[in-house]
Amino acid sequence: MGGFVRLEVADGIGTIRLDRPPVNALNAALQEELLEAAKAVTTDPAVRAVVLHGAGKHFAAGADITEFTTVTYQEMVAQSGALSGVCDALARIPKPVVAAVTGFALGGGCELALACDWRVVAEDVKLGLPEIKLGLIPGAGGTQRLARLIGPAKAKDLIFSGRMVDSTEALRIGLADRVAPAAGVYDAAVELVRPFTTGPALALRAAKQAVDGGLNLDLASGIALEAHLFAGLFATDDRVEGTTAFVEKRAPKFTGS
């Protein structure tokens, strides 16, 4: 991808690795490379699932605040959509995506993790949205995705206070899905998505579209979206294989088509 983001593909899993020591601060260049990586895994048929991981000890400690000290309102109006666009691109990857989170995931780093389908975190992790302490609020989807994930009351607690949470609290409130020793977080994330690499790719894509798209719709519209996506899968080879395998009492061999 470039100097700050690496994309590695092996056994159907694409690993997007942030690599800007020491804390993977999300400067403009890293954001551009991350957007490119999200687009690459979206279109690469060899990638069936994705792991987002931070090289070194930390996932991402947020935006590069040194870039904020002199920026004007007019400049920020033009720039404010950049990291939000990166998070949106991650959220729209039509494949299972898991964040493997070690060390700090703060501010924009936490927002990147929120854009993934799951979060596997280290036992000593620290997660939070501390923007309020800078006189700001989360600006890349944090107020919206966190409230949808853990509920508005808990989200307001974290956003209003700017406090960090540890792995125990993150798991309890639903901000984390699994906890592992720091040295095993990446492997645990890979194991979470590995089963999907041989699954029905188009059905998994449709399932993600139905869940994520339905969250922004009323119930009737969400059900209509689901029905549309369900019917569309009858045009896939994997639907033929899956139903035939069921009738023949054998394991299906999906091809992703």
Mean pLDDT of all residues in the chain? Answer: 95
Nearest to 86 by CA among 137, 156, 142, 136: 142
Q: Could you report the per-residue pLDDT of 106-125, keeping only the tens digit for each?
A: 999 999 999 999 999 999 99
Query: Is 226 annotated as catalytic?
Result: no
Domain 200-247, CATH: 1.10.12.10
Mean pLDDT along residues 171-193: 98
Q: How far is CA 211 from each of CA 123, 175, 193, 243, rounded to the nearest angstrom? A: 29, 18, 18, 23
Q: pLDDT band at 68, cuts 50/70/90?
A: confident
pLDDT at 140: 93
Q: pLDDT band at 64, cuts 50/70/90?
A: low
User: What is the signed CA dihedral for 137, 150, 99, 62, rounded to 10 degrees?
Assistant: 10
Of 28-32, 148-152, 177-181, 239-243, the range with the lowest mean pLDDT is: 28-32
Whole-prediction pTM:
0.93
Q: Could you report the per-residue pLDDT of 11-39, keeping only the tens digit for each?
A: 999 999 999 999 999 988 999 999 999 99
Of 24-38, 77-91, 184-198, 241-255, the range with the lowest mean pLDDT is: 77-91
Q: pLDDT band at 76, cuts 50/70/90?
A: confident
pLDDT at 1: 62
Are 54 and 103 contacting, i.e. CB atoms less than 8 angstroms apart? yes
Please tell me the class of the 5-197 domain.
alpha beta
Catalytic residue among 8, 131, 241, 248: 131
Are 160 and 198 contacting, i.e. CB atoms less than 8 angstroms apart? no
- Judged against a pLDDT cut of 80, whether residue 80 lies above it is answered with no
- Judged against a pLDDT cut of 90, whether residue 63 lies above it is answered with no
- Judged against a pLDDT cut of 90, whether residue 77 lies above it is answered with no
Mean pLDDT along residues 128-141: 94
- Judged against a pLDDT cut of 90, whether residue 66 lies above it is answered with no
Inter-axis angle of helices 152-161 and 142-150, to 10 degrees?
140
Determine the Cα–Cα distance for residues 229 and 241; give it in Å rounded to an integer. 18
Nearest to 97 by CA among 57, 30, 48, 43: 48
pLDDT at 82: 82
Question: Domain residues of the chain, as ranges?
Answer: 5-197, 200-247
pLDDT at 87: 96
Catalytic residue among 8, 33, 75, 111: 111
Mean pLDDT along residues 234-239: 97
Query: Is 111 annotated as catalytic?
Result: yes
Nearest to 251 by CA among 11, 194, 202, 241: 241
**% residues pLDDT > 90 (the chain):** 88
Determine the Cα–Cα distance for residues 196 and 255; give it in Å rounded to an integer. 12
**% residues pLDDT > 70 (the chain):** 99
